Amino acid sequence: MNALGQRIATLIETQGPLSVAQFMTIALLDPSDGYYARRDPFGARGDFITAPEVSQIFGELVGLWCVQAWIDQDEPKRAQLVELGPGRGTLMADALRAARLAPEFLTSIDVVMVEASDALRALQQERLRDCGAPVQWKDRFEAGDRPLFLIANEFFDALPVRQFVHTERGWCERMIVADKGVLGFALSPLASAVAVEDDAPIGGVYETSPAALAIAEEIGHAIARKGGAALIIDYGYDRPGFGETLQAVGRHRFKDVLDAPGEIDLSAHVDFTALAAAARRGGAQTFGPVGQGRLLDALGIGARAEKLARLNKNEASLVAGAVDRLASPEQMGTLFKALAILPPHTPTPPGF
């Protein structure tokens, strides 16, 4: 057990069991030893690779989607373009470069990067130094009082989930316990009131991310009130089910969730049905989710890839490989999904 694991075990031995969500929060965001606080986890040499790191086309198409939504809403001046969990800053850099096609968009927005990790914030600052729009950083999402254009790729999967297991006693929360310094799972002795139907099989697991739902509702509320549009892309499911999806990944391999906290990534599949319902509770309209492949095809990934391949003949096969990775159903095309959040009574956005 590493130093952070020992600290967590001591915390549990003195203060009692932690929920899975509390454990995830510490393992991912502890300021000295948390996973995102310590390192740059992305890319071929890191633990996993995300869509913006696969190809610049991803960020370009997402950027142009935002520009289109902004044009469709009569080009509001003084709007904000927010990214949640920007990683290395690649998505925003590519999006803003593509948005130069609409210079008035760039002069109308302030860019806000919501990032909890100081290490990643430093990478993002470097990346966006000459991006052509004013950029500020925040620790957490606040809707503000201006039209809100928002993008989030693989952010919601990093938010902590609580897990409840269906037992003869009802829904019991899965907790993390410690025995002589060793972390393990246990079920809470008392059942919890959980807002799901009781027809789940015994042993079925219900996962929910209160943090994700709260943010989605706030986004929905802001967009309904002030205008704007959000494009949320992540891996996840779009129908309710009873199964656990919390996973640990290190160096492109699955690991044990409780091993080496802070050294491996923890994430859970996003419940798009619940996320969309939360945004609608906030008053907004939602579209999708649609598969990432379908979205990118509709936004013109094929044409953009051809152009890039023509401009740089040596890289044609790399570009083709990247497109396949992003859009084909066997790769990221269907597991990854996109949800759009718009004000009520606006037409269907491109790709949905």
Where along the sequence are the contacts to ligand SAH (CB under 6 A)? 28, 36, 42, 50, 52-53, 85-87, 91, 114-117, 120, 140, 153-155, 158
CA proximity to 4, closest of 261, 207, 216: 261
Q: Which is nearer to ligand SAH, 24 or 69 (CB)?
A: 24
Q: What are phi and psi of 18, to 5 degrees?
A: -105, 150
CA distance 228 to 224: 8
Could you tell me the smallest distance in angstroms from the CB atom of residue 86 to ligand SAH?
5
Q: What are the percentages of helix, strand and coil residues in the chain, rounded to 5?
A: 40, 25, 35
Report the nearest approach of ligand SAH to the CB of residue 116 (Å): 4
CA atoms of 344 and 336, how far apart (whole Å): 25
Residue 170 C-beta: closest distance to ligand SAH, Å: 30
Choice between 57 and 158, CB closer to ligand SAH = 158
Q: Which of 47, 123, 132, 57 is nearest to 85 (CA)?
A: 123
Give me the residues paired with residue 287 across strands: 340
Distance (Å, whole) CA 266 – CA 310: 39
Estimate to the nearest angstrom the gap between the alpha carbon of 66 and the chain centroid. 17
Residue 210 CB, shortest distance to ligand SAH, in Å, is 12
Q: Which residues contact 19 (CB under 8 A, 6 or more apart)?
A: 162, 173, 174, 175, 176
By C-beta, is 172 or 212 nearer to ligand SAH? 212
Which residue in the shown chain puts its C-beta closest to ligand SAH? 85
CB-nearer residue toward ligand SAH: 50 or 80: 50
Residue 35 or 164: the one with the smaller Cβ distance to ligand SAH is 35
The CB-of-91 to ligand SAH minimum distance in angstroms stands at 6
Beta carbon nearer to ligand SAH, 187 or 327: 327
Placement of tokens 């993008």 in the chain: 151
Question: At closest approach, how far in Å is the CB of 267 from ligand SAH?
Answer: 8
